[in-house]
Amino acid sequence: MQKSPFWSLIFWAGVWEFVGQMQWMTLLPPLSGIWFAFAELFQQSAFWDAFIMTARTFGIGLSLSIVVGIPIGILMGISSRADKILSVWVNLFLSAPITAVIPALMPILGIADATVIATVILFSIWVVIIDTQAGVTHVKDSLVEMGKIFGCSRSKIIFWIVIPSAMPEIITGIRLSVVRAVKGVIVGQIVIALIGFGGLFSTYLSYFLMERFWALIIVVFIMSFTIIGLVEMLERRIAFYAKSR
């Protein structure tokens, strides 16, 4: 019989509680103790400042990734020259340890929003480009030929046929870029370690406020999970014709 994953979560929560109660590690307080830390967390203005800062940089960075990434992906999809010139770099950065670049961004862009936004972009733009390109290159040949037969100009073929055809892949790319942007905004703040949630994490850790530290981990997890879940829902709605192609 398939048991519900809910009970599995309860089981792991129990394990956490047990380990915490045993006090084997000061770094891991019992789960029950963290409950109170949530209330403390939400009362702090520092938390809300961090939240707003995170939301802002996440939003700006992700939007830029999408707005810039899609046209680049389309260009690489329709022009084999653009593809040959850009694909090395896109594929390199798609799986490169972008984390290593963050220290270089700090002296250039300053220890504030700009660096975090740049980190978010560097984390999330490549997958938008790659997926958009994949969508464009897999547009059915016959649809493009159909456009040509009816005398469509190049731009009409691109806007009426190619881009709508590539929509399911573009949406998938956006979903994956949201996942990566979530990672990017947190990693960026943690490496900078002075601003946003990253700043809070390092403060709590250095003062051994472990309940708050874990409460914050859980809050950030729930926020990421919600955003990713929402985008997945959106994807299922919008890409209704993906299967019928």
Partner 1 sequence: MENQIKYSQTNEDSKLNITKVGPKTSLLFFRIISFFLVFLIWELAGRSDISIAFPPFSKVFLAFIEMILSGEFVEAYADSLPPLLIGLLITVVGGVIIGVSVGLVRSAEWFIMPLLIIFQTAPVSALIPMLTYIYGISDTSKIVAIVILGMPLVALNSYKGIQSTNPSLLEMSASFLASRTNTIIFVILPSAQKMIFAGLRLGISGAFIGIVLAELLITPTGIGDLITYNRFIARYDKMFATIVSILAIAGLTLSLMRVFEDWLFPKEKN
Partner 2 sequence: MKKRSRSTEVILSTDSINVVYQESLIALQNVSLDIPAAKLTAILGPSGCGKTTLLKVIAGLIKPTSGSVKVRGKEIEGPGPDRALVFQDFALLPWATVLQNVGFGLRARGVPKKERDETSLHYIKEVGLLGFEDKYPHQLSGGMRQRTGLARALTINSDILLMDEPFSAVDEQMRRKLQEDLLNLLKVENKTVIFVTHSIEEAVYLADQVIILSGRPGSVAEIVYPKIDRTGEIDLIRRQPGYIDLVDEIWSSLKKYVE
* Candidates 40-48, 111-119, 155-163, 236-244; binding stretch for partner 1 (CB under 8 A): 155-163
* CA–CA distance, 78 with 133 (Å, rounded to integer): 8
Of 22, 52, 84, 146, which lies in the binding site for partner 1, with binding defined by CB under 8 A?
A: 84
Q: Are 154 and 148 in contact (CB under 8 A)?
A: no
What six digits make up the tokens of 2? 């398939």
What six digits make up the tokens of 173? 């790319």
| Of 41 and 162, CB closest to partner 2 | 162
Q: Which residues here bind partner 2, judged by CB under 8 A?
A: 140, 142-143, 145-152, 156, 160-161, 164-165, 167, 241, 243-245
Long-range contacts of residues 159-164, Cβ cutoff 8 Å, at least 24 apart: 162/74, 162/77, 162/78, 162/136, 163/74, 163/136
Q: Count residues binding partner 1 (CB under 8 A).
A: 74
Of 69, 73, 77, 168, which lies in the binding site for partner 1, with binding defined by CB under 8 A?
A: 77
| Of 60 and 167, CB closest to partner 2 | 167
User: Does the protein bind partner 1 through residue 99 (CB under 8 A)?
Assistant: yes
Least distance (Å) between residue 152 CB and partner 2: 5
* CA–CA distance, 222 with 237 (Å, rounded to integer): 23
